[in-house]
Amino acid sequence: MKINKYITLVAAAVLLAGCDEFLETESYTKKTTATFPETEADAESMIAGIYAVMSNNMLDPDETPFYVYDLASDDRLGGGSTSNRNAQSSDRLLSRDNEWFEDTWQWRYRGIFRANNAIATMDNVKVWKNANNKNQYLGEAYFLRAFYYLDLIQLFGEVPLVLELEAQNLPKSPAEKVYAQITSDLLKAIEIMPAVAYPNFEKGHATKWAAEALLARTFLFYTGYYNQESLPNADGGTVSKSQVISLLEDCINNSGHALLPDQRSLWPYTNKYTKPTYKYIIENNVDAEWAGDNNQEVLFALGMGNVYGWTNRIVEFWGLRKATENAEAVYPFVPTGYSNGPVSRGLWDDWANDPDYKDDYRRLGSICDRLVEIPDYKGDANKEVENSNLFCKKYAGIGARSEDGSTRYISYSVLLFGSDDNNQRGLTQGLIHIRFADVLLMHSELTQTADGMNKVRARAKLPALNYSLENIKKERRYELCFEALRWNDLRRWGDINVIMPNQVGQSILNRGKDDKYVQFDGELEFMKRYQETGGFWKIPEKEVILSNGVLIQSKGWEDKKGEWTKLPYNTI
């Protein structure tokens, strides 16, 4: 892999804007790794630059792991129009084109380089206002390096492990070695970051508690997918299940994080400017009110909007077509999008038919039945494909009305934050990566006890269940749907071959015509592709070429395997 040799960091204002214009050693600023950072403010700017890569990646959201994982699972279809090959490729484990994931590869490695630089140069700062600040910033660098490597290793299988600042052309490292580094980084973050409970830390920053939760997620995937008993550690040791449980219990007992009283308070459709005129809220007597992006349940999220300078384009890609021009019919889902990721009828029906989930408010709180909630919205029959008439509410563009009801806005963010009333710039919802419900469910799964699972069920007003892995699987599916966790859950449980075929035959509309969802046959058949690739995607071809043979393509993607072709429907 060829990594550009960046020499210095940008100044604070540039970093906070997410710009990638690194200053050369010879530049007029004279800021080099020998002199920067000099002050605590410099260190803060340096850490901001590591976070900024996530925002930059959102400029092309169809390459982000969150978007791809959500579409790859059984609970969404590709959707969109015939031109939305990104969504349909994610859904089918195919390659949109040779350069797909180029931005994700580049931005994740830029983040890793910035983290490497922060770890190497933090001692340049000699004076700190507070002794804990240095450890907090350094811990964030370790956490983010682990976070970015986990994205890369789960997306591509094996990747180069870059820990030095010098430019290098490296081959892929074995998965065990990359996971060992992730483990080591998270343990270091947990060790040095201050144990400050919510809400007393600075919002928008990774914490000791987020690192504990991410280590548990890493443990579950690695031990499940690779059939191992423990996590490797870069120091030569291992991390056991009992150690991970202990760290999760520290998070549960000491972090200050907790479940919100109503799960719907996590999602912006319950904000105070939308809920008074939203039919679902009124008819179901929903008392919940949006708790904001940095609420007590959220351990780690990507901030968006006017405060951060970026918008959540994943929400745009999920959004309904021609929504803004049909604002009254589609309210509150007013911002126009591309109709990618329609909800699978399998999820909708399984949820309704499961006696353990009778009257679970989360079903209607998570999924919009277009024919019931917004029956006058006709969609875009000339373009929509794989339309199930089911739409995710958790990540959806949300409109609002002024308090007197006289003015309708494309985005609730206009009234709450003063953002632009725009289909893109108004999409300010944060992207939640870790929340407390997941922590409780991971703890139940690891301990094989029902306590955490039943706390989540009690919040949904459901009766307690005995522990079983099957019950955990169902609870994770319903509680965490559309939060980009289902795909890797299925992979680590070894359930892909059992679950994914259930999509086939579901009722859909293709350009307004009744149809059934189908996969490809032959070489592009989904399970054949999964067996060949292990569920990992293609490394961008450009990176393979630039390496001059050092970087080997992901298994199952050699010789133009898995290249996209047109959708396999007779109705299109």
pLDDT of residue 25: 31
pLDDT of residue 99: 87
10 Å CB burial of residue 241 (0-12, 13-18, 19+) is middle
pLDDT of residue 309: 55
pLDDT of residue 524: 95
Segment 283-317, tens digit of pLDDT: 999 999 999 999 999 999 998 865 455 789 999 99
Tell me how far apart the alpha carbons of residues 229 and 354 are, in angstroms, rounded to a whole number. Answer: 33
DSSP 8-state class, residue 515: E
For the residues of 442-502, what is the DSSP string, one character each? Answer: HHHHHHT-SHHHHHHHHHTT-------HHHHHHHHHHHTTTSS-HHHHHHHHT-HHHHGGG
Three-class SS of residue 413?
helix
Pairing of strands 238-239, 408-409: unpaired
In this structure, the dihedral spanned by the alpha carbons of residues 248, 252, 258 and 264, taken in order and rounded to 10 degrees, is: 30
Which residues are CB-contacts of 498 (< 8 A; sequence separation ≥ 6)? none
Tell me how far apart the alpha carbons of residues 130 and 147 are, in angstroms, rounded to a whole number. Answer: 26
Tell me how far apart the alpha carbons of residues 79 and 509 are, in angstroms, rounded to a whole number. Answer: 10
- Low-confidence stretches of the chain (pLDDT beneath 70): 1-33, 305-309
pLDDT of residue 12: 29
Alpha-carbon 76 to chain mean position: 15
pLDDT of residue 325: 94
Tell me how far apart the alpha carbons of residues 219 and 299 are, in angstroms, rounded to a whole number. Answer: 18
Place of tokens 């494309």: 410
pLDDT of residue 568: 95
pLDDT of residue 31: 59
β-bridge mates for residue 507, sequence order: 516
pLDDT of residue 306: 55
